[in-house]
Amino acid sequence: MHCGGIEVVTTQVNLVLDGPIARITLQGEKGIQILSAATRQRLLEIVEQVSQTDCSVAVFAAEGRTFIAGANIDELRSLSEESAYADSRVGQHLMSQIESMPQTTVAAIHSACAGGGTELALACDLRFAADGAKIGLPETTIGILPGWGGTVRATQLLGGANARRLILTGELISSSEALRIGLINGVFLAEHFAQQIEKVIEQVLRCAPLARRRVKHLLREHIAQRADLASQYEAEARAFAECYPTGEPFEGQTAFLEKRAANWTAIS
């Protein structure tokens, strides 16, 4: 999703290699970060580049009014059932590449985080938010569902009850509530957020880097042994694609852009 009524031209993805730290920063022209297809491709290239370095920590951050507001609404509106399936698979691949980075990954959520932004955060090892941030998976409010691995990772991390709450209501919850249900690992005051993230990085760097890489791989193997993840991602992509023939995505996304309530009953 993106914020209705606000034109977002492009979101740049910048990489700074700072000793043992890879700093990956998203920067939208109007301070709103959108994961358009072009931005996702650039992000994938950077993730693959960082994965080949000997950096020990990778931090995902943003500048401006949001952390990541989600996908590009106009791109979502243009999807068909077939292209929606492909879009879901491409998004899943990006998030899986982030999840499988050898570095310890940190999502520094300084402000609003929705849809694809939350899916990206779920793919990271550690997630921290500023006290004023709102976080959620509001895709069902625009006629679709989290299709970039969000249904799978939310259920793994939060359990069925909390995953259902986030996805079926589409609500954006406060950072304190996100902490309570385990969506994030900590909340920091907004005015001290950057400094607190640096303290987290320092703490991580005190731990043995090769041990961290090994245990990260081990923990992923533990999760994989509990569930057939490939089948879950396939089912998610199919469900995402099957939303489109119903007409709900077009109505929901149009209503979002027009700042009105969606008229679901008008869909035949």
In this structure, what CATH number is given to the domain that contains residue 18? Answer: 3.90.226.10
Catalytic residue among 7, 75, 99, 139: 139
Those residues with Cβ within 8 angstroms of residue 182's Cβ, 6 or more apart along the chain or in another chain: 157, 158, 162
Q: Show the tokens assigned to 127.
A: 């997630």
Q: Which pLDDT value is given to residue 30?
A: 87
DSSP assigned state of 171 = P
What is the distance, to the nearest Å, from the Cα of residue 133 to the centroid of all Cα atoms in its chain? 14
User: Per the residue annotation, which of 99, 119, 236, 251 is the catalytic one?
Assistant: 119
DSSP string, 203-254: HHHTS-HHHHHHHHHHHHHHHHHHS-HHHHHHHHHHHHHHTGGGTHHHHHHH
Residue 36 lies in a domain: yes
- The answer for 10, left when phi > 0, alpha when psi is -120 to 50, beta otherwise, is beta
Structural domain boundaries enclosing 251: 11-191+209-263
Write down the residue that tokens 């249900």 correspond to. Answer: 181
Does residue 6 belong to any structural domain of this protein? no
Q: For the chain of 268 residues, list the mean pLDDT of each consecutive stretch of 10.
A: 45 96 94 96 98 97 95 96 97 97 98 98 98 97 97 95 97 98 98 98 94 88 76 92 94 94 82
* Residue 78 is assigned to a structural domain of this protein: yes
Distance CA 183, CA 185 (A): 7
- Measured CA to CA, the distance from residue 84 to residue 195 in angstroms comes to 40
Taking residue 78's Cβ as centre, other Cβ atoms within 10 Å add up to 13
Query: Is 234 a residue of the active site?
Result: no
Within 10 angstroms of residue 216's Cβ, the number of other Cβ atoms is: 18
Q: Is position 187 within any domain?
A: yes
Pairing verdict, β 57-63 and 70-71: unpaired
> How is residue 267 written in tokens?
């869909």
Residue 108 located in a structural domain: yes
Distance CA 150, CA 56 (A): 26
| Count of structural domains within the chain | 1
pLDDT of residue 223: 73
CB 249 within 8 A of CB 79: yes
For residue 199, tell me if it sits in a domain.
Answer: no
Residue 233 lies in a domain: yes
Cβ–Cβ < 8 Å for 171, 140: no
How far out from the chain centre does Cα 58 lie?
15
Per-residue confidence (pLDDT) for residue 196, from 0 to 100 = 98
Please indicate, yes or no, if residue 203 is contained in any of the structural domains.
Answer: no
Nearest to 108 by CA among 79, 78, 161, 66: 66
Residue 119 a catalytic site member: yes
Q: How far apart are CA 197 and CA 31, in angstroms?
A: 20
Q: How many CA atoms lie within 13 A of 77 on its CB side?
A: 13
What is the predicted pLDDT for the residue at 268? 57
- Asked if residue 250 lies in contact with residue 267, where contact means CB atoms within 8 angstroms, the answer is no
Q: In degrees, to the nearest 5, what angle opens at C-alpha 53 toward C-alphas 49 and 54?
A: 160
